[in-house]
Amino acid sequence: MTRVNVRKNVIRACCYTCVSFSAVTQIPAALAASNEAQQIDSLQQRVAQLEDALKQPDSVVHLAGYGSAGYSSRSSDSTFNVFSFSPIFHYQYKDLMLMQAEMEMGYNADGTTETVLEYASLNLILNDNAVLVAGQFLSPIGQFRQNFHPAWINKMPSKPLGFADGGAAPLTETGVELRGAFLPGGKSLNYAVYIGNGPRLVNNAGEMEVETEGNSADENKNKVIGGRVGYLPMYNLEVGVSAAVGKANIPTEADRDYTVYDVDFAYQPGFIEVRGEYVQTKVGDLASSAIPGEQTWKAWYVQASHKFLPSNWEAVVRYGKFTPPDPTAEQKQTAVSINYLFAANVIAKLSYENNEATAGTINDENRAVAQLAYGF
């Protein structure tokens, strides 16, 4: 081999060595750059997860409710006295637990302010078809009380006869309730069953009254069991059946049978809505009582409404009757109302009630009522 060829081979070998050495020295740098990119990607993913968690927190607080103000006038008096404010508090943890409570604040006839806890309950979401409710909750008996009594939902400025405090329909219950819905065969079926303390009976100057609000104490140690089943054979028609049985008593007296029966319906063909409800509350006979004999409260109403779309006007007519144990306190009512909806949750109502009762009593006086209601 000549000297020139030897020199070329040495130079070529040295070049290969330099290139190989250069490649080896670049490997750690490439690995470092790759690790840094992976760390940046991982950090970005964690930031995105935290942002999602902040957008969808485990616990949610929500304030809802409604308020109303109004005016009523009849032959014996006229006054701005129909005012109430009812905030509703919701506290939810994931899709597991919901706590809700409603307070009602308003003015009494003497100008004092009254604050009442309407209901307060814990709702444990068991699955898509069942919710366990514990505490004081709206009575599932019938439809009006549990779904339509808020001022901005009720199409009339007043409640149907017998469906307010001291009427024939239970308002709230204290106990445990299981409620939910199913879709058997493409139809809709909803249900609610409960066990609670039941009502307390009151001797009011020789007349029996049923405290329709849920009691936190059960003096007779006997619980009331009840519930409701609602069936929707069509999307715009629902029929419901309710019942409750148990014991109730006037304090210091023996127990008496207590039963409630209720049927309701709601039908909405187009822009017309027709609904009605019948409820009967019965307290059994007790010979040793200060108020012996069977006591029965009955109430029913039928209501129809029509929205004059595309305007915001609505017309409503309602007929109802309330029959308490005292026949002289029986009352019938025909009411008509013209409503204007400023929004879906802001409604102004102007109604006239034609009342029939014992002559000379306040229940026999006709009344005009105006109300502005807002739901939030």
Confidence of residue 211 (pLDDT cuts 50, 70, 90): confident
pLDDT > 90 fraction of the chain, expressed in percent and rounded: 67
Buried residues in 299-313 as b, exposed as e (16+ CB within 10 A) = bbbebbbebeeeeee
pLDDT tens per residue across span 249-265: 998 889 999 999 999 99
Burial of 364 (0-12, 13-18, 19+ CB in 10 A): middle
Structure-model confidence comparison of residues 113 and 159, the more confident one = 159
Nearest to 355 by CA among 316, 305, 318, 304: 318
pLDDT in tens, 9-19: 433 433 333 33
What homologous superfamily does CATH list for 60-294?
Porin (2.40.160.10)
Does residue 219 register a pLDDT over 90? Answer: no
Q: What is the mean pLDDT of residues 53-61?
A: 78
Would you place residue 32 in the very low, low, confident or very high pLDDT band (cuts 50, 70, 90)? low
Domain limits of the chain? 1-56, 60-294
Q: Pick the more confident residue, 376 or 55.
A: 376
Lowest model confidence (mean pLDDT) among 6-10, 289-293, 360-364: 6-10
Q: Buried (b) or exposed (e) across 19-58, using 16+ Cβ within 10 A?
A: eeeeeeeeeeeeeeeeeeeeeeeeeeeeeeeeeeeeeeee
Rg (Cα) of the chain, in Å, rounded? 34
Question: Quick check: 82 pLDDT over 80?
Answer: no
319's tokens: 């007929």
For residue 54, the model assigns a pLDDT of: 64
Contact assessment for residue 277 and residue 300, using Cβ atoms and an 8 Å cutoff: yes
Residue 26 has pLDDT above 50, yes or no: no
For all residues of the chain together, what is the average pLDDT?
87
What pLDDT, on a 0 to 100 scale, did the predictor assign at position 33?
58
Residues 106-114: what's their mean pLDDT? 78
Q: With bands split at pLDDT 50, 70 and 90, how would you rate the model's confidence at 24?
A: very low
- What pLDDT band is residue 37 in, cutting at 50, 70 and 90? confident
Q: Average pLDDT, stretch 47-76?
A: 85
pLDDT value at position 53? 62
Residue 77 has pLDDT above 90, yes or no: no
Judged against a pLDDT cut of 50, whether residue 31 lies above it is answered with no
Residue whose pair of structure tokens reads 């950090």 in the numeric block: 43
| Whole-angstrom distance, CA of residue 278 vs CA of residue 273 | 17
